[in-house]
Structure 1
Amino acid sequence: MKESKRRTTPAPSHESPRPADDFGAWLAQRLTALGYDLSGPRSGGKSRFAEDSGISPSTVGRLLRNEMPTDPRLLRTLAEAIREPYPVVLVRAGFITAEELAGARAPETKQPITPDQAADELGIDDPVERHLFLTMTRTMVRPTPTDGEGRLAD
Protein backbone atom coordinates (compact mmCIF):
# COMPACT_ATOMS: atom_id res chain seq x y z
CA MET A 1 0.00 0.00 0.00
CA LYS A 2 1.32 3.40 -0.94
CA GLU A 3 1.99 5.70 1.97
CA SER A 4 0.65 9.22 1.63
CA LYS A 5 3.16 12.04 1.72
CA ARG A 6 0.46 14.44 2.78
CA ARG A 7 1.25 15.85 6.19
CA THR A 8 -1.48 16.47 8.62
CA THR A 9 -1.04 19.16 11.17
CA PRO A 10 -3.49 19.70 13.95
CA ALA A 11 -5.69 22.74 13.63
CA PRO A 12 -4.63 25.52 15.96
CA SER A 13 -6.60 25.61 19.15
CA HIS A 14 -8.48 28.85 19.64
CA GLU A 15 -10.61 27.71 22.51
CA SER A 16 -12.08 30.27 24.80
CA PRO A 17 -9.80 30.92 27.76
CA ARG A 18 -12.73 30.30 30.10
CA PRO A 19 -15.45 27.73 29.59
CA ALA A 20 -18.89 29.17 29.05
CA ASP A 21 -20.99 26.18 30.02
CA ASP A 22 -24.21 28.14 30.30
CA PHE A 23 -23.80 30.22 27.13
CA GLY A 24 -26.08 28.00 25.03
CA ALA A 25 -28.83 28.08 27.65
CA TRP A 26 -28.47 31.85 28.01
CA LEU A 27 -28.60 32.31 24.24
CA ALA A 28 -31.66 30.05 23.97
CA GLN A 29 -33.40 32.18 26.61
CA ARG A 30 -32.52 35.38 24.72
CA LEU A 31 -33.76 33.96 21.42
CA THR A 32 -36.98 32.73 23.00
CA ALA A 33 -37.52 36.14 24.60
CA LEU A 34 -37.09 37.70 21.16
CA GLY A 35 -39.80 35.44 19.75
CA TYR A 36 -37.78 32.63 18.17
CA ASP A 37 -39.38 29.24 18.76
CA LEU A 38 -36.70 26.77 19.86
CA SER A 39 -39.11 24.18 21.26
CA GLY A 40 -38.09 21.45 18.83
CA PRO A 41 -35.79 20.58 15.94
CA ARG A 42 -38.46 21.54 13.38
CA SER A 43 -39.82 24.60 15.16
CA GLY A 44 -38.04 26.95 12.75
CA GLY A 45 -36.75 29.40 15.33
CA LYS A 46 -33.09 28.58 14.84
CA SER A 47 -33.36 28.89 11.03
CA ARG A 48 -35.36 32.09 11.26
CA PHE A 49 -32.80 33.60 13.67
CA ALA A 50 -29.98 32.53 11.36
CA GLU A 51 -31.69 34.26 8.46
CA ASP A 52 -32.48 37.40 10.47
CA SER A 53 -28.99 37.70 11.95
CA GLY A 54 -26.88 36.67 8.97
CA ILE A 55 -25.23 33.94 11.04
CA SER A 56 -25.24 30.52 9.41
CA PRO A 57 -27.68 27.93 10.83
CA SER A 58 -24.80 25.58 11.65
CA THR A 59 -23.03 28.33 13.62
CA VAL A 60 -26.24 29.14 15.51
CA GLY A 61 -26.48 25.45 16.40
CA ARG A 62 -22.88 25.38 17.61
CA LEU A 63 -23.46 28.46 19.76
CA LEU A 64 -26.53 26.87 21.30
CA ARG A 65 -24.35 23.82 22.12
CA ASN A 66 -21.74 26.01 23.91
CA GLU A 67 -19.21 25.65 21.09
CA MET A 68 -17.58 29.05 21.12
CA PRO A 69 -16.35 30.66 17.92
CA THR A 70 -12.67 31.32 17.36
CA ASP A 71 -13.37 34.83 16.12
CA PRO A 72 -14.93 37.24 18.62
CA ARG A 73 -16.22 39.36 15.71
CA LEU A 74 -18.95 36.75 15.26
CA LEU A 75 -20.05 37.56 18.79
CA ARG A 76 -20.39 41.23 17.79
CA THR A 77 -22.85 40.20 15.07
CA LEU A 78 -24.64 38.00 17.58
CA ALA A 79 -24.77 40.82 20.15
CA GLU A 80 -26.42 43.13 17.64
CA ALA A 81 -28.90 40.46 16.62
CA ILE A 82 -29.97 39.64 20.18
CA ARG A 83 -29.88 43.28 21.28
CA GLU A 84 -27.28 42.78 24.00
CA PRO A 85 -24.18 44.89 24.59
CA TYR A 86 -21.12 43.34 22.95
CA PRO A 87 -19.11 43.32 26.20
CA VAL A 88 -21.90 41.38 27.93
CA VAL A 89 -21.81 38.73 25.18
CA LEU A 90 -18.01 38.50 25.46
CA VAL A 91 -18.33 37.84 29.20
CA ARG A 92 -21.14 35.31 28.71
CA ALA A 93 -19.09 33.51 26.03
CA GLY A 94 -16.07 33.34 28.30
CA PHE A 95 -13.77 35.50 26.17
CA ILE A 96 -13.27 37.89 29.09
CA THR A 97 -14.25 37.86 32.74
CA ALA A 98 -16.56 40.34 34.39
CA GLU A 99 -13.52 41.58 36.35
CA GLU A 100 -11.58 42.20 33.13
CA LEU A 101 -14.54 44.07 31.71
CA ALA A 102 -14.82 46.20 34.84
CA GLY A 103 -11.09 46.92 34.67
CA ALA A 104 -11.42 48.05 31.08
CA ARG A 105 -14.32 50.32 31.98
CA ALA A 106 -12.48 51.89 34.93
CA PRO A 107 -8.75 51.52 34.33
CA GLU A 108 -6.40 52.14 37.19
CA THR A 109 -5.65 55.78 37.59
CA LYS A 110 -2.03 56.70 37.10
CA GLN A 111 -0.18 59.02 39.40
CA PRO A 112 0.78 62.26 37.69
CA ILE A 113 4.39 62.37 36.62
CA THR A 114 6.80 64.92 38.00
CA PRO A 115 8.30 67.67 35.84
CA ASP A 116 11.63 65.81 35.99
CA GLN A 117 9.97 62.62 34.72
CA ALA A 118 8.26 64.61 31.96
CA ALA A 119 11.61 66.10 30.90
CA ASP A 120 13.09 62.60 30.82
CA GLU A 121 10.15 61.28 28.79
CA LEU A 122 10.52 64.16 26.33
CA GLY A 123 14.27 63.65 26.06
CA ILE A 124 15.16 67.13 27.28
CA ASP A 125 18.75 66.64 28.36
CA ASP A 126 20.39 69.96 27.52
CA PRO A 127 20.97 71.59 30.95
CA VAL A 128 19.70 75.03 29.93
CA GLU A 129 16.61 73.68 28.13
CA ARG A 130 15.90 71.32 31.01
CA HIS A 131 16.14 74.11 33.60
CA LEU A 132 13.82 76.30 31.49
CA PHE A 133 11.35 73.43 31.04
CA LEU A 134 11.36 72.52 34.75
CA THR A 135 10.93 76.13 35.86
CA MET A 136 8.07 76.71 33.43
CA THR A 137 6.34 73.44 34.32
CA ARG A 138 6.63 73.94 38.06
CA THR A 139 5.23 77.45 37.69
CA MET A 140 2.27 76.16 35.67
CA VAL A 141 1.35 73.39 38.11
CA ARG A 142 1.76 75.51 41.22
CA PRO A 143 -1.59 75.77 43.07
CA THR A 144 -3.41 79.05 42.53
CA PRO A 145 -3.77 81.11 45.72
CA THR A 146 -7.41 81.59 46.73
CA ASP A 147 -6.95 84.82 48.67
CA GLY A 148 -5.51 86.85 45.83
CA GLU A 149 -2.01 86.67 47.27
CA GLY A 150 0.73 85.99 44.78
CA ARG A 151 -1.15 87.37 41.79
CA LEU A 152 1.03 89.24 39.33
CA ALA A 153 -1.45 91.92 38.35
CA ASP A 154 -5.14 92.68 38.39
Structure 2
Amino acid sequence: MRRRDNGDDARQVWVTWLRETLQERGYDVDSPRGGGKTQLAADLDMAGSSVTRLLTGGSMPNHETVVRLAKVLDVPLAELLVRTGKAAESDFPQTGSKLDHSEVSSVTPMTPEQLAAAAKVPQAHRAWFEEMVRNFMNEADSEQHGGNSTGGAAAGR
Protein backbone atom coordinates (compact mmCIF):
# COMPACT_ATOMS: atom_id res chain seq x y z
CA MET A 1 0.00 0.00 0.00
CA ARG A 2 1.37 3.38 -0.98
CA ARG A 3 0.91 6.34 1.28
CA ARG A 4 0.59 9.93 0.26
CA ASP A 5 2.93 12.56 1.58
CA ASN A 6 1.55 13.73 4.91
CA GLY A 7 3.31 17.08 4.87
CA ASP A 8 1.88 20.28 6.28
CA ASP A 9 -0.17 20.97 3.14
CA ALA A 10 -1.81 17.54 3.18
CA ARG A 11 -2.50 17.87 6.90
CA GLN A 12 -4.15 21.27 6.43
CA VAL A 13 -6.29 19.96 3.56
CA TRP A 14 -7.39 17.08 5.83
CA VAL A 15 -8.22 19.37 8.76
CA THR A 16 -10.18 21.78 6.55
CA TRP A 17 -12.18 18.93 5.01
CA LEU A 18 -12.82 17.32 8.40
CA ARG A 19 -14.03 20.55 10.02
CA GLU A 20 -16.31 21.36 7.07
CA THR A 21 -17.74 17.84 7.05
CA LEU A 22 -18.34 17.91 10.79
CA GLN A 23 -20.17 21.25 10.45
CA GLU A 24 -22.34 19.75 7.69
CA ARG A 25 -23.19 16.86 10.03
CA GLY A 26 -24.26 19.23 12.81
CA TYR A 27 -21.15 19.26 14.98
CA ASP A 28 -20.45 22.86 16.01
CA VAL A 29 -16.71 22.42 16.47
CA ASP A 30 -15.81 26.10 16.00
CA SER A 31 -17.78 27.53 18.92
CA PRO A 32 -16.20 27.02 22.36
CA ARG A 33 -19.65 26.59 23.89
CA GLY A 34 -21.35 24.92 20.92
CA GLY A 35 -20.92 21.43 22.32
CA GLY A 36 -19.75 20.00 19.03
CA LYS A 37 -16.33 18.88 20.26
CA THR A 38 -17.84 17.26 23.34
CA GLN A 39 -20.49 15.48 21.27
CA LEU A 40 -17.89 14.34 18.74
CA ALA A 41 -15.67 13.01 21.51
CA ALA A 42 -18.62 11.03 22.88
CA ASP A 43 -19.64 9.74 19.46
CA LEU A 44 -16.07 8.66 18.67
CA ASP A 45 -15.54 7.30 22.19
CA MET A 46 -12.40 9.43 22.46
CA ALA A 47 -10.96 11.87 24.96
CA GLY A 48 -11.69 15.53 24.32
CA SER A 49 -7.99 16.30 24.06
CA SER A 50 -7.65 13.72 21.28
CA VAL A 51 -10.52 15.34 19.38
CA THR A 52 -8.85 18.75 19.77
CA ARG A 53 -5.59 17.39 18.33
CA LEU A 54 -7.55 15.84 15.48
CA LEU A 55 -9.33 19.12 14.70
CA THR A 56 -6.18 21.24 14.84
CA GLY A 57 -4.00 18.88 12.85
CA GLY A 58 -1.86 18.15 15.88
CA SER A 59 -2.15 14.49 14.99
CA MET A 60 -3.43 12.45 12.09
CA PRO A 61 -5.98 9.81 13.04
CA ASN A 62 -4.86 6.24 13.55
CA HIS A 63 -6.63 3.35 11.84
CA GLU A 64 -9.15 2.82 14.64
CA THR A 65 -10.08 6.51 14.64
CA VAL A 66 -10.47 6.51 10.85
CA VAL A 67 -12.91 3.58 11.13
CA ARG A 68 -14.88 5.38 13.85
CA LEU A 69 -14.92 8.62 11.83
CA ALA A 70 -16.22 6.77 8.78
CA LYS A 71 -19.12 5.43 10.81
CA VAL A 72 -19.92 8.71 12.60
CA LEU A 73 -19.60 10.84 9.45
CA ASP A 74 -21.28 8.25 7.20
CA VAL A 75 -18.37 8.47 4.77
CA PRO A 76 -16.91 5.45 2.97
CA LEU A 77 -13.90 4.08 4.80
CA ALA A 78 -11.87 4.02 1.58
CA GLU A 79 -12.43 7.76 1.15
CA LEU A 80 -11.19 8.51 4.65
CA LEU A 81 -8.17 6.26 4.23
CA VAL A 82 -7.23 8.24 1.11
CA ARG A 83 -7.97 11.63 2.71
CA THR A 84 -5.77 10.84 5.72
CA GLY A 85 -2.94 9.54 3.55
CA LYS A 86 -3.24 6.01 4.92
CA ALA A 87 -3.88 4.77 1.38
CA ALA A 88 -3.80 5.99 -2.20
CA GLU A 89 -6.80 6.01 -4.52
CA SER A 90 -5.02 3.47 -6.68
CA ASP A 91 -5.12 1.03 -3.74
CA PHE A 92 -8.86 0.61 -4.34
CA PRO A 93 -10.36 -0.84 -7.50
CA GLN A 94 -12.20 1.58 -9.72
CA THR A 95 -14.72 -0.60 -11.49
CA GLY A 96 -16.72 2.23 -13.00
CA SER A 97 -19.98 0.66 -11.92
CA LYS A 98 -21.73 0.89 -8.63
CA LEU A 99 -23.58 -1.97 -7.05
CA ASP A 100 -27.09 -1.35 -5.89
CA HIS A 101 -28.46 -3.16 -2.89
CA SER A 102 -30.29 -5.75 -4.98
CA GLU A 103 -27.01 -6.97 -6.45
CA VAL A 104 -25.58 -7.91 -3.07
CA SER A 105 -28.69 -9.12 -1.27
CA SER A 106 -29.23 -12.78 -0.62
CA VAL A 107 -31.45 -15.03 1.43
CA THR A 108 -28.58 -15.99 3.70
CA PRO A 109 -26.15 -13.34 4.94
CA MET A 110 -22.92 -13.12 2.99
CA THR A 111 -19.70 -14.03 4.72
CA PRO A 112 -16.87 -11.49 4.91
CA GLU A 113 -15.06 -13.59 2.29
CA GLN A 114 -18.05 -13.45 -0.06
CA LEU A 115 -18.37 -9.70 0.47
CA ALA A 116 -14.70 -9.21 -0.34
CA ALA A 117 -15.11 -11.18 -3.55
CA ALA A 118 -18.31 -9.31 -4.51
CA ALA A 119 -16.61 -5.97 -3.84
CA LYS A 120 -13.55 -7.10 -5.84
CA VAL A 121 -11.23 -6.24 -2.96
CA PRO A 122 -7.64 -6.85 -4.09
CA GLN A 123 -6.08 -9.98 -2.60
CA ALA A 124 -3.47 -7.90 -0.77
CA HIS A 125 -6.25 -6.17 1.19
CA ARG A 126 -8.63 -9.09 1.70
CA ALA A 127 -7.55 -10.08 5.21
CA TRP A 128 -7.88 -6.50 6.44
CA PHE A 129 -11.26 -6.05 4.71
CA GLU A 130 -12.62 -9.32 6.06
CA GLU A 131 -11.49 -8.46 9.59
CA MET A 132 -13.23 -5.07 9.41
CA VAL A 133 -16.45 -6.68 8.14
CA ARG A 134 -16.35 -9.19 11.02
CA ASN A 135 -15.92 -6.31 13.49
CA PHE A 136 -18.90 -4.46 12.01
CA MET A 137 -21.00 -7.63 12.03
CA ASN A 138 -20.11 -8.25 15.68
CA GLU A 139 -21.09 -4.67 16.56
CA ALA A 140 -24.40 -5.05 14.74
CA ASP A 141 -25.11 -8.33 16.53
CA SER A 142 -24.27 -6.73 19.86
CA GLU A 143 -26.59 -3.80 19.20
CA GLN A 144 -29.45 -6.07 18.11
CA HIS A 145 -29.16 -8.13 21.25
CA GLY A 146 -29.12 -5.21 23.65
CA GLY A 147 -25.36 -5.02 24.03
CA ASN A 148 -23.63 -1.78 24.79
CA SER A 149 -22.32 -0.39 21.50
CA THR A 150 -19.65 2.18 20.96
CA GLY A 151 -20.57 5.22 18.97
CA GLY A 152 -22.34 7.40 21.48
CA ALA A 153 -25.50 9.40 21.07
CA ALA A 154 -25.15 10.17 17.37
CA ALA A 155 -24.91 6.49 16.41
CA GLY A 156 -28.70 6.27 16.37
CA ARG A 157 -29.17 9.29 14.14
* Contact persistence 2:44–2:65 (CA under 8 A): no
Distance 1:73 1:38 in 2: 21
Match of 1:18 in 2: 5
Confirm or deny: 8 A CA contact 2:41 2:48 kept in the other structure.
yes
Contiguous gaps of at least 5 residues in structure 2: 95-118, 124-157
**Alignment partner of 2:74 out of 59, 66, 83:** 83
Q: Is the 8 A contact 1:79 1:86 kept in 2?
A: yes
Determine the C-alpha separation between the residues in 1 that align with 2:85 and 2:44: 21
Q: Aligned with 2:29: secondary structure?
A: coil
Q: Distance in 1 between matches of 2:26 and 2:122?
A: 38
Contact 2:23 2:29 in 1 (8 A): yes
What are the residue-to-residue correspondences of 1:38-57 with 2, within 5 Å? 38-57=29-48
How high is the TM-score relative to the length of structure 2? Answer: 0.50
1:27 aligns with 2:13: no
For residue 148 of structure 2, what is the aligned residue in structure 1? none
Query: What amino acid is the match of 1:89?
Result: L
* Residue in structure 1 matched with residue 104 of structure 2 by the alignment: none
Larger Rg: 1
- Measured after TM superposition, the shift of residue 49 of structure 1 is 1.2
Looking at both structures, which has the greater relative contact order when contacts are Cα pairs under 8 Å and sequence separation is at least 6?
2
Distance, in Å, in 2 between the alignment partners of 1:48 and 1:85 is 21
Q: 1:47 to 1:101 in 2, by over 3 A?
A: same
Paired AA for residue 65 in structure 1: T
Does the Cα contact within 8 Å between 1:36 and 1:46 map onto a contact in 2?
yes
**1:50–1:57 Cα contact (<8 Å) kept:** yes
1:27 is aligned with what amino acid? L
| Structure 1 unmatched runs, 5+ | 1-15, 109-154
Residues 71-110 of structure 1: pairs in structure 2 closer than 5 A:
71-102=62-93, 107=122
CA RMSD of aligned residues (A): 2.5
Aligned to 1:68: 60
Q: How many percent identity over aligned positions?
A: 33
Cα shift at 1:56: 2.0
